[in-house]
Amino acid sequence: MFFRRFSLVIYALLILIPLLIVVLTSMKTIQETFRNPLGLPEAGLQFENYTAIFQEQTMAGYFMNSTIVTLFSVSLTLFFASLIAYGIIRLNNWIGNFLFILFTLGMMVPAQVSMIPLYSLMLDLNLTNSLVGLILVNISTTMPIAVFILTGFMKTLPKELFEASTIDGAGNWKIYTKVAIPLSLPSLSATAIFLFVMHWNDLLYPLLFITDNAYKTLPLALLEFQGEYSTNYPMLFTGVIIASAPMVIAYIFLQRYFVAGMTAGAVKG
Amino acid sequence: MKISKSIYLFFLPGLLLYAIFFIYPTVSALFYSFTDWDGLSSSFQFVGIDNYERAFTGDTIFRKTIGNNLKFMLVVVVFQTFVALAFALVVLKNTKTTIFLRALYFFPTILSSVSVAFIWSFIYDPSLGILNQTLELVGLGSLAQNWLGNADIAIYSLAVTQIWFHAGQMLIIFVAGLQSIPDELYEVAKIEGATKWQTFRNVTWPLLAPSATIVIAYTTIQSFKAFDLVFAMTGGGPNNSTEIVATYIFDIAFRSYQFGYASAISVIFMIIIATITFLQFKALRSDRISY
């Protein structure tokens, strides 16, 4: 019993201490960090790094870019993938099966495979250094997992509902918006959170397609800080906190949904 | 029941994007893997299977890279699964404390890999880092290390970071699997006087097999595909000791502009991942247990 509790506390500390260090360090000066990396800030908590980061860097711009990319990527992926999932379960023939397999096969392809031709395609289409380009790529690469989860869920909905609506004279669009979508809200919200975390934190595609500061997203901007500030951990950690804040706040309030979404993504992926 | 043809329009936007930005580049990768394309010029030559031959016979770094990937994967799969299962068993029941602890253990999963990379680079920092400082503090200063700078241990330092990052997610999958085991089975075991170990061996473990398969398969793929942490923490160094396939592809493609060769490596990479995924699906199908 004692050993159980002890190990739980140790694991909790292993998570908490690094996070605590991040918060404390972000409120120190770089000199303080070198003198006493683990101590409390000597002159009390300071928020200078925060004001500095917002003044010097175009942090507000990065934040905005991440927000735009994530919101559009998530909502459009959900919209298109739910249309496809609905189509697959209604068709219920070889075309539906073929499309289902075509999309789910995409889950097996690591991003590194399509990355090289995708890069030259983006150059040709003039979609590098563009948020629209990033959004289009995000939608395409998460389509497989979204289609997979949503089709799996919609298959469990009673067929009779759709058939009854058809008899009542509802067209496909009407059944999709009035029946399929409302009933699929649990799996839609789980998928939304999974996609949200994934796109907000994504590094690879911004790294490939964005070089202009005006279009950088937060993870990429953080990586650039690392080059610029190399061992200025107070500044780096201030960036980490600003970049993570929306996720952390959302997690505190919507914890259950986060867990559902991230594990649905893991299990089905 | 006859369904209106308008249903085909539903596939249009998703399929169009998927075809342009996913299927086309993936198929092209296969095509370019047989060329010497540099990614910049408009002309290239077909070189047959030269790229594949080079990967398997001439490229010592690639071989090292595969070895690093396997080391990283093995350490992460074994320890992450063990940690996740051990702690899932302890925080299984729903009390206020366990619900809080589960949420806390899961927390790192929501952070960006770049953030996690910074946090752990600081922990591992040879002079400022909490790890060396703590070792000094408890009198084990001789163990202090340049955790990311020492070619013999850097890959394991990265594995620890990966486990910190994702163990909580796997723990939650185990908890879900464990909670789906009907209580009656435990009651029966109790009535029949089974010891704790017997109960685990004969009730929990067999019924947990599906979640264990999911966790192990997912961890395998996730650790095989790892890119961000390595890219941000060591960049593959020191001396290629942490170079893994995903970062190696990035290097040969975007640092030395050998797109053709990088494509060949990425096709090999895809075949490995697809094989693992296929085995995962197969194992999942055969492991379905009904009760």
Residue B139 in tokens: 């009198």
Q: Is A219 on the interface with B (CB under 8 A)?
A: yes
Question: In angstroms, rounded to a whole number, what is the distance separating the alpha carbons of residues B286 and A172?
Answer: 37
Q: Is A69 on the interface with B (CB under 8 A)?
A: no
Q: What tens digit of pLDDT does each residue of B41-90 get?
A: 778 888 888 899 998 998 899 999 999 999 999 999 999 999 999 999 99
Q: Measure CB to CB from residue A263 to each of B10, B176, B250 and give the nearest one.
A: B176
Strands (E), B33-134: none
Give pLDDT, residue A19: 93
Give pLDDT, residue B1: 58
Give the distance from CA A259 to its chain's centroid.
14
Give the distance from CA A261 to its chain's centroid.
11
> Which H or E run includes B225?
none
Contact yes or no for A195/A268 (Cβ under 8 A): no
The answer on pLDDT for A243 being more than 50 is yes
> Which H or E run includes A247?
helix A233-268
Q: pLDDT confidence of B252, banded at 50, 70, 90?
A: very high
Sequence-ordered alpha helix ranges (H) in B225-258: 228-233, 245-254
Nearest to A192 by CA among A106, A110, A70: A70
Q: Chain B closest CA to A229's CA: distance in Å?
A: 12
- Show me where the domains of chain B are located: 58-284
Give pLDDT, residue A258: 86
Residue A146, C-beta contacts closer than 8 angstroms, at least 6 positions apart = A77, A78, A81, A191, A195
The answer on pLDDT for B287 being more than 80 is no
Q: Is A1 on the interface with B (CB under 8 A)?
A: no
Q: What tens digit of pLDDT does each residue of B151-160 get?
A: 999 999 999 9
Contact B259 A116 (CB under 8 A): yes
Q: Chain A closest CA to B192's CA: distance in Å?
A: 24
- Show me where the domains of chain A are located: 71-267
Mean pLDDT of B142-147: 86
Q: pLDDT confidence of A218, banded at 50, 70, 90?
A: very high
CA distances from B252 to A1, A188, A200, B266 (A): 53, 39, 27, 11
**How many helices (H) and strands (E) would you count in chain A?**
14, 0
Question: In angstroms, rounded to a whole number, what is the distance separating the alpha carbons of residues A88 and B63?
Answer: 43
Contact B214 A218 (CB under 8 A): no
Q: Is A70 on the interface with B (CB under 8 A)?
A: no
Which of B43, B114, B227 is the best residue to mutate to test the A interface, defined by the most A CB atoms within 10 Å of its own CB?
B114
Question: In angstroms, rounded to a whole number, what is the distance separating the alpha carbons of residues A152 and A145?
Answer: 11
Q: What tens digit of pLDDT does each residue of A118-135 get?
A: 999 999 999 999 999 999
Q: pLDDT confidence of B289, banded at 50, 70, 90?
A: very low
Mean pLDDT of A149-161: 90
Q: Bin B37: left if φ > 0, else alpha if -120 < ψ < 50, else beta.
A: beta
State in words which class domain A71-267 has. Answer: mainly alpha
Amino acid A249 reads: I
Cβ contacts (< 8 Å) between A240 and chain B: which residues?
115, 118-119
Give pLDDT, residue A8: 93
The answer on pLDDT for A248 being more than 60 is yes
Question: In angstroms, rounded to a whole number, what is the distance separating the alpha carbons of residues A140 and A162?
Answer: 28
Higher pLDDT, A3 or B264: B264
Q: Measure CB to CB from residue B262 to each of A80, A90, A116 and give the nearest one.
A: A116
Cβ contacts (< 8 Å) between B217 and chain A: which residues?
none
If you count residue pairs, one on A and one on B, with CB atoms under 8 Å apart, how many are there?
Answer: 255
Average pLDDT value for chain B: 89
The number of residues in chain A equals 269
Give pLDDT, residue A12: 95
Judged by DSSP in three states, B51 sits in helix
The percentage of residues in chain B with a pLDDT greater than 70, rounded to a whole number, is 96
Query: Residue A158, preceding bond cis, omega within 30 degrees?
Result: no
- State in Å, rounded, how far the first CA of chain B is from the last one: 36
Within the 106-145 window of chain A, which residues sit less than 8 Å (CB to CB) from chain B? Answer: 106-121, 136-137, 139-141, 143-144
Give pLDDT, residue B140: 85
Give pLDDT, residue B290: 43
Question: Does ipTM top 0.85?
Answer: yes
Contact yes or no for A236/A229 (Cβ under 8 A): yes
Mean pLDDT of B249-277: 90
Question: In angstroms, rounded to a whole number, what is the distance separating the alpha carbons of residues A134 and A114?
Answer: 15
Give pLDDT, residue B291: 43
Give pLDDT, residue B242: 94
Q: Chain A closest CA to B24's CA: distance in Å?
A: 8
Nearest to B213 by CA among B77, B74, B76: B77
Q: pLDDT confidence of A267, banded at 50, 70, 90?
A: low
Contact B114 A219 (CB under 8 A): yes
Q: What tens digit of pLDDT does each residue of A67-113 get?
A: 999 999 999 999 999 999 999 999 878 999 999 999 988 888 888 88
Higher pLDDT, A266 or B67: B67
Cβ contacts (< 8 Å) between B170 and chain A: which residues?
266
Higher pLDDT, A55 or B84: B84
Give pLDDT, residue B11: 94
Average pLDDT value for chain A: 88
Q: Measure CB to CB from residue A108 to each of B104, B115, B273 and give the nearest one.
A: B273
CATH architecture group of domain B58-284: Orthogonal Bundle (1.10)
Among A42-46, A91-95, B37-41, whose mean pLDDT is lowest?
A: A42-46
Give pLDDT, residue B2: 67
Q: What tens digit of pLDDT does each residue of B204-244 get?
A: 888 888 888 888 888 998 898 889 999 999 988 898 999 99
